[in-house]
Structure 1
């Protein structure tokens, strides 16, 4: 085929978002029916070049077909098959627009439920053979071929077959349901099932009817079908099976002729019926021909593969036309049909056919989704529907290129130029779309590369957490606490800061997740863990930048300390892929969670320190929490029953605990020799050591958390620190120099130690502050030189574990009393007193 195709746009239609693949069907006269998959059918006149009518159907139209006498139109909708008289349509059209000129608007004709002739759901293909109406429908996993009598629409018979694909899988590349191929095959020596003006020598009788040579017909469907001259129904299903059913043969059943192993898009035959062709969606082509073998004939199945995906196809004489969406191609079906006899003929036929399949001819027409052969005697004309909804007339060149050029008029040459420019525009548009898609994919890959690098970086730092301090992690969290007052209610807030010290940018899709867990994690009233989770999305956190969030930690009167703050980064794959994630199974809710570090907020972080001028009296709780009221009641009972002897000589309403630390250890770790707190030498060193230790306890960022009073020296005085705990009770911290006797250390010389004492009327406050001081001392030991560590860290670790267990018992006692879990007041009092005795009877000396 030489020369270039002429493409002419006849009209424009829109069918985006339709459920079925569009279809172009030739109607009576010069009219063309356009079935776009919506609930409208367009009637277009190619002679007048205008839209004459629009049929409004009760539902989306999947297929339509005319009767052989051109008197009736059958339309398949979701609810069934409707039949409309074409004369009725013409009369309605003439009545709706009398004496209308060529520019009048098309008539809108509504097909109501009174035209319903077959109430069958799921009909996808229709075919009329003589006086029989055939419907092919799908329900679940069954394909059903049903035969109706076209006179009274009585159901004659039904044939079913299990499909190899489910309903949701029967969708093509364009997201629309595939329409099964349904045609009628006749032997060329048989009488047509109806009167037709078409010559018997032609392969195509009418839409959906083809003729085959008697020999090929007999070899394919059997001698019984050939003798009965029965029409054969050929079905190409989306599961790849090519099935056939003889109509006039008693006891016929639906049988498989061939399997393409891919959805069948088109089935047809060449003229004069020497070849039956079936085309699959992925490009598999099966040519069925006859070949001489000895004194007889045999059936030859020739398989090949053409460029895919195949959107639609049609046959005109010996040529197959099919569209891949990006190009319109033709395949010559007559290659190798006139070779010599015998084995040499067989080999030559196969070689020529294989060569033709491997190199189809391009017509340089793109974006065609529906095809039909137009009735034209002078040239080969195709009617195509493109993806933009335009009905196009495609005229193929005839003869050699030189003869064609000599006979082409100037108007035809101008039209060819316009067609060429239109094709160039389509190619440019496709190139622009592909360029945008490639750019989007590159951005997604770059973003994904950043995510993978950050994941590997955090995973490596997590595995080496023991060797890598928190301050040296590339991406880490630190926090600070602060009290605020709103509506006469005090509350403790936590400001969490995400620090990005890595060389990577945390782009969109990242979320900072913060989880709060009390140390004991007691069950709530509903039996669930008393934890809280917060999520803070962010994007574009560059290297060196920080992301700061604030969240409520506890209200005044809450003593659920110490509290663990777990920080992690969460990345959502949906934010990276966008709408494409919905098409990937299992990625709709997929997230990547990367732990950062864990922070601890203890009692020292939650203290409200009073100024030195404030009177150090007991501060009562200002909240009306029932738990605190019960605790106050227990404390009053404890004061009456414990007596002065329980406190070791102290006031009956005060409890205390202490920790002693070597003064030399403090000087070595806190660097008092080079500090501004020691300007006069060793004379003021003991007092400076005590004050420096208290200041360090209040300002040290233990557990990665600092307080808002860091660096504030106003609250320090010789009498100690007066503050209010998070449970509302007054507390006092003092530090003084104490000489330890030989009986304590076993040495001749008496070392100088600094004793840190915690006093309060609340056992919970004493235990909580004692635990916080032990954690600070543990940090101090890690900084000390190896020569000063005369006490094993194992003993300190055991003391910390005992303090945590005491805090858990106190917290469990408060929860049990608050929710009435059966414990009496006397039992709670004895439990709290035993906790306090264990705390006092296990002193800890750090040398």
Structure 2
């Protein structure tokens, strides 16, 4: 919005704030009257000499209206009524005026006593008021009598219903109704302050044929709720003034409180406080002239407004603007039926204006505005001629070239910013798609998704399985093959990784085990299928058995935003746990293959303390009742079935498995390098009072004590897990033989005392002899024999 250069002249200055302010300009001296919302009225008798006079009233001045003869001013006092005060006569030529004086206006000057009046208007012989009373806006018409005079006589009264929410908003915003008087051109009378003339066609279309035939002035009212109302005023001539009024009619509605109503000959203009602008003009329709209501927005808020025949001048507080008014096309044409092109407001480069008087125009065409600033200065703004025309300044070719270069540079800058913005939007769009993909995978792996409708375990759509095998590289090594299976419809793309953690169990309770080892395998694009990653269990600092294998799916949130290198370092990750299982010695038995030194791979062939070799052979056994196995496993507890169950631990898959050999139907044996695992049916007596109990004995024979202990621990761990998961309910309670149990417990306690006695020298730092070592080994072996029966 370009501006124009105006000349501003300061006419007078007062030590007071003028917000809000009102100003009236008369054609003859005194020339200006204005107020600042207080109880004082400022009168400027001569703009050139700046002589002022102050009038004091009983309350705050809210509105000023000049009389029709220009000899006085009507003043609305808040919560009181309408007063009339005459203006001072101009001094004689060549006589210097006295200093400004202050005159107190007495209560006898009140012409309409009504404390609920919000606004008023003065025509030639009638004073019109608007009051809010009983939920309605009431219009009162009073006959103007000679001065001095008591209160005016009421001629008529009518009302229109007020909107409750609009009344509350009006009280909060202190938005009074706005009144204006309009006449038809050629209908007699003249346009005074607050009055304007309309073309006869527009007047007839807007108010009706009856009103135009009677040549009646129309009173327009803009209510705080945005409604534009009108009512006719019939004023027959003659010394006896009579008023007759019809009903109030709503012409249009704005969304904001109305602050101004006026217009030029060819349009009616309404302005809202927030910048809403309504222009009513004549347009060409299919059957002739029609009314055209055009609404638009202008920069606001609007503090004060004045209008000429061609322009609307208004102040936002920060700028004074001139807006050309839309006019009706001079002749009917097809283009006249379309809305006219709106002109943008033109800045006059004048700030802090809070009051405007009706503009005047000198013979040369220059427009003069009388303004009041919020600091109390009376300003005269002179606009250049023909401000409504779009004049194009003459510029040189060099200036044109420079402007073109500037425009091209601006276009390039805008293109660069647009490209950067497009790239940023694309990055965010990609991140949102990735986030949606990640959230869908998280939903698949929620804990409550792992169970079926009947509470049974349901296979996860994404899971990790582990297979243990032996390979012979430079040395015998246990190789874990971790298989990630994706049976879902989602792609595990770049950014996802499979994370494995191997943690050895502590050798003694309440002690910390060796540090865990973590492996991360980035994924590229895994759709429905599987990917296998190997992990060697042996090596420097390798973990011993048993150990726990945990698996996670990990997603880098920094990778979602496209960060790389140092930017992504230390970024947060999203972890989704898949599976967790325990890997023991039973899972890693080399059941067949070439001769390999299984014991040396497990470091079981080391020499014991004191240089004594762990001689053998050694054996341990565990006995389990057949009835318990049948009730828990749900199958015939044959030795071969029990061995098959033991060698296929939960979550472990054997890539290659050897065949067992046995000596008969009641016995099954599995042999590996350096060990033999046997399951056979036995009958255990002296346990129950009812007689012998059928059982299955699991026996381990090995030349390595370390291997023997590891397998024994694995067997007990499998059976303990089995006992915890399922309760025994298939067999009645057995009558145990108490004396036999007591003897077994006493024997176990004696063996424990022997162990503690053998370990005492080591606790004191004394080296053990070879005989003590052999004795301790034999004692451990007797403790690991199957002294009790698992029932």
Q: TM-score normalised by the shorter chain: which range applies?
A: 0.3 to 0.5
More helix by share: 1
